[in-house]
Homo-oligomer: A and B are copies of this chain.
Amino acid sequence: MNSFGRHFRVTTFGESHGPAIGVVVDGVPPRLPLDVAAIQTELDRRRPGQSALASGRREDDAVEILSGVYMGVTTGAPIAMLIANRDARPDDYRELASVFRPGHADFTWQAKYGVRDPRGGGRASGRETAVRVAAGAVARQLLLRRGVRVLGHVVEIGGIRAERFDEASLGSSPVRAADPEASVAMVHAIEAAQRDGDSLGGVVAVHARGVPAGWGDPVFGKLDAALAGALMGIGAVKAVEIGDGFALARLRGSEANDAPGPDGFASNHAGGIQGGISNGSEIVARVAVKPTPSIARPQATLDLAGAATTVSVRGRHDPCIAPRLVPVAEAMVCLVLVDAWLAQLLVEGGAAG
């Protein structure tokens, strides 16, 4: 299952240290002037090697469009995008091929397939998310034409929470937090963990503004269910909340209900989704990002033969993946929303027809 989406159908391929990773996007409407630079900008937000806090792998992540675009305009044919792996160092992983790195997919991939590409996690690498970002950037262009804007930011790292949302400060935060003071504290926390040969987790929020009421489905294709599946499908994510999420479990109905009024809803506990369908309020999702499993500290594990051993994962890894996960989470939200938009075209166009 390497495809995602129903109408806007994304299929990804490629391994971390193979020749390239890529994506085929099927279902892109024709006659859209495709902004390739905007796709590259999103890829640049995700790519490694940008700061001391991120993996030192050097990839330019230059996207090549192989199909589906003619004279700068989409044709209705599938858009294939390719990103070469330039700084692959498969040899770095030679010694790791014989042990299961704790917290990684090594053990489970081997259990599932009975064979494994050990070079940097192979297909299970976070590198696969680069092409999700590329596909999401195409979706984002379609959404922007509908007035929908998707924005993610880090709201917590290592227990330090952003207490305010100063959007203007977001661009200068190395951890993509919108609270300048918290941002500084988060950086220090990451550096401290790194010094300890350890890593940190965090929480990322994604907002979507401008989604009209009516997107999503009432039963199995609920918009919040689609978002939850999409966001939990990002490697390090282990929890998803919509709106107030777990806090809703502690409210009373009279507190939790969002009352519709002539000027919109009076509150947004539901995160913009009721009964699985958008209500016109801002859509809000939050995800928990576990700490990077690759750490320098020695950890107990098994080797391929099943014997107990110890491993210390050096290589090039982000001590906290939350900041780099922001554009990936945004991309997944864009993919879900563009699919919901197309599904709603069927409802509205079908009823009008």
Contact = CB atoms under 8 A, between A and B. Distances in A.
A220 B10 CA distance: 10
A300 B266 contact: yes
A290 B253 CA distance: 8
Contacts of A3: 3, 9, 11, 26, 220
Contacts of A346: 7, 27, 29, 342, 345-346
A347 B254 contact: no
A271 B68 CA distance: 28
A352 to B, nearest CB: 8
Contact of A300 (B11, B146, B259, B353): B259
Interface in A123-138: 123-124, 128
A201 interface: yes
A113 B245 contact: no
A250 B278 CA distance: 31
Given A75-B117, A345-B349, 5 more contacts: A18-B66, A30-B114, A108-B277, A112-B215, A225-B232
B261 A31 contact: no
Interface in A11-56: 11-15, 18-22, 24, 26-32
Given A9-B3, A77-B15, A217-B1, A115 B222 contact: no
Contact of A114 (B31, B111, B244): B31
A225 B214 contact: no
A77 B277 contact: no
A152 interface: no
A272 B193 CA distance: 26
B302 A261 contact: yes
Given A24-B2, A260-B302, A224 B238 contact: yes
27 contacts: A12-B220, A14-B66, A15-B77, A18-B67, A73-B115, A103-B274, A107-B213, A109-B275, A111-B212, A111-B214, A112-B216, A112-B277, A114-B351, A142-B350, A159-B250, A193-B252, A199-B252, A200-B252, A220-B233, A248-B288, A248-B290, A248-B291, A253-B294, A254-B297, A255-B291, A261-B302, A341-B353
